[in-house]
Amino acid sequence: MPALYRMGYKESIDPAKLPLHVAVIMDGNGRWAKQRGEHRITGHQNGVKAVRETTEAAAEIGVKYLTLYAFSTENWNRPKEEVLALMQLLVSTIHGEVETLNKNDIRLMAIGDLKSLPQDCIRELTEAMKATAQNKRMNLILALSYSSRWEIIEGIKCIVEAVEKGQLKAEEISEKKFESYLCTAGIPEPELMIRTSGEHRISNFLLWQLSYSELYFTDTLWPDFGKEDFYEAIVDYQGRERRFGKISEQIEN
């Protein structure tokens, strides 16, 4: 037993100030692989371990929504073999994790242009979402073939259609109404967005929903991201003052 016990980040978390929703841009798989002289897909395969760690970490402390940016609209432009390998990895991971998700009372959800995914991916995803639909502890949301600009344009198209059909009046379009046309309808906005690998960008991820989110960037590459890294981000978030355009004194009162 060491004489001095150093408190970990988990013990420093204030359960009363937990974010309800954490969104993550999982970045750095390719660089992680390159550093080891491995093929990029090895990075993605090792990224799955970080997905598990982060999901467990979030559920353990009581986060209710965890959104992971797993595949962007722009990722379709990567070399064919990488896209194929990523899709296969998604299918096998989703298939292999359903039992664990159920054991841990975690519901799987997805946002994005899901119909653009390969058939076997759509099938696994639909089955896993159905099999976990009753789970209540946490919602794990995968952003797949997702981009925020795509989502916003799709929302606008649906609004225009509703207006044309006389189901909606232009003056009824409010922020709240618009949100109901996004993929994230019914899901609270993320209070915290984490991006790994040292890149300081949002990259077309939840542009509307991240308007007031705290942004946390770490140099850690995604496959190396573990529970303590997640807890460190939560502790950092809890040390911030969220003002939503107001001044400090208004928040204190």
- Provide the annotated active-site residues: 27, 75
Is residue 26 within the footprint of ligand FPP (CB under 6 A)?
yes
Taking each helix axis from N to C terminus, what angle separates 227-238 and 40-61, rounded to the nearest 10 degrees? 50
Residues with Cβ < 8 Å from 220, sequence gap 6 or more?
28, 196, 197, 229
Whether the CA torsion 137, 178, 145, 71 is positive or negative: it is: negative
Which listed range, 20-28, 108-116, 129-137, 183-191, lies at the site for ligand FPP (CB under 6 A)? Answer: 20-28
CA distance 194 to 67: 10
Q: What are the helix (H) ranges across 23-141?
A: 29-35, 40-61, 80-103, 119-131
Ranges within 218-237 binding ligand FPP (CB under 6 A): none
Question: In whole angstroms, how close is the CB of 128 to ligand FPP at the nearest point?
Answer: 10
Quote the tokens at residue 240: 């911030």
Quote the tokens at residue 95: 């298939």
Question: In whole angstroms, how close is the CB of 102 to ligand FPP at the nearest point?
Answer: 16
Which listed range, 68-76, 116-124, 178-186, 210-218, lies at the site for ligand FPP (CB under 6 A)? Answer: 68-76
Is residue 202 within the footprint of ligand FPP (CB under 6 A)?
no
Longest dimension (CA), the chain: 72
Among 13, 18, 23, 51, binds ligand FPP (CB under 6 A): 51
Is residue 44 within the footprint of ligand FPP (CB under 6 A)?
yes
Is residue 89 within the footprint of ligand FPP (CB under 6 A)?
yes
CA distance 208 to 73: 17
Q: Which residue has the tokens 């789970």?
A: 135
Question: In whole angstroms, how close is the CB of 106 to ligand FPP at the nearest point?
Answer: 13
Is residue 27 within the footprint of ligand FPP (CB under 6 A)?
yes
Is residue 90 within the footprint of ligand FPP (CB under 6 A)?
yes
Binding positions for ligand FPP, rule: CB under 6 A: 26-31, 44, 47-48, 51, 68, 70, 75, 89-90, 93, 142, 197
